[in-house]
Structure 1
Amino acid sequence: MDQYLAVAEEKRNVDDKLSNLRRAMVAEGLKVVAQCIERYQLTAEDLKEVLPLPTPSNSFQKVGSTTRRSYRDPTTGKIWTGHGKRPNWLMQHGPDACLIS
């Protein structure tokens, strides 16, 4: 048990050192970036060319959701979204004539 506690304490010390070192390096890096921005008069547009915007997360998209084409009966105005049996009016007029764009 004593050995475990000693190693856990050692790990905490190493984690603290890493955290402090990272904080110092980030501060140094930000100083260099700020100097370059000022020296070369860089703008946000300049940075967009070299730093791509993060892509949106797909966590809010429904899995497997796709948009289906919708069709409207030219005579009655009824709409068919592609679910269920294909209506007779769609076969009569043809899908291209009834497609809602």
Structure 2
Amino acid sequence: MAQSNPPQESVLDQYLAVAEEKRNVDDKLSSLRRAMVAEGLQVVAQCIERYQLTAEDLKEVLPLPTPSNSFQKVGSTTRRSYRDPTTGRVWNGHGKRPSWLLEHGPDACLIT
């Protein structure tokens, strides 16, 4: 008499089982994170009350917020412009530095 092998689980069945496990782990992580944040905020609130901290006190130790637009430049976004006093031509810092700027000096030609 020949033995029959049990049917093997398909790759799809394996995938669906692992996906379900992942959903369960993600749910547990989310729940733990909510509890962790609540616990942390409770500790922070206790410290604020105990040490009578103000928003100004916290500004000294908290990092500055990052720009919401990833393309936004950090720091100064204004570029200086220069005007040739003789001809009125303007150079805004892009490209080769004009000879008239060297002749008159940047301070004499600065407009912004």
Normalised TM-score (structure 2): 0.59
1:28-54 CA deviation, whole Å, 9 max, x = no partner? 111111111111100011111111212
Q: What's the secondary structure of 2:70's corresponding residue?
A: helix
Which residue is 1:61 aligned to? Answer: 72
Looking at structure 2, the residues matched to 53 and 61 of structure 1 have their Cα atoms a distance apart, in angstroms, of: 15
| Structure 1 runs, 4 residues or longer, greater than 3 Å off | 57-99
Unaligned runs of 5+ in 2: 1-11
Number of residues paired by the alignment? 101
Residue 56 of structure 1, CA deviation: 2.6
Normalised TM-score (structure 1): 0.64
What is the CA RMSD across the aligned residues, in angstroms? 4.0
Unaligned runs of 5+ in 1: none
**Bigger Rg over Cα:** 2
Residue 61 of structure 1, CA deviation: 4.3
Looking at structure 2, the residues matched to 64 and 26 of structure 1 have their Cα atoms a distance apart, in angstroms, of: 32
Q: Comparing both structures, which one devotes a greater share of its residues to helix?
A: 1
Which residue is 1:91 aligned to? Answer: 102
Q: What's the secondary structure of 2:82's corresponding residue?
A: strand
**Percent of aligned pairs sharing the same letter:** 90
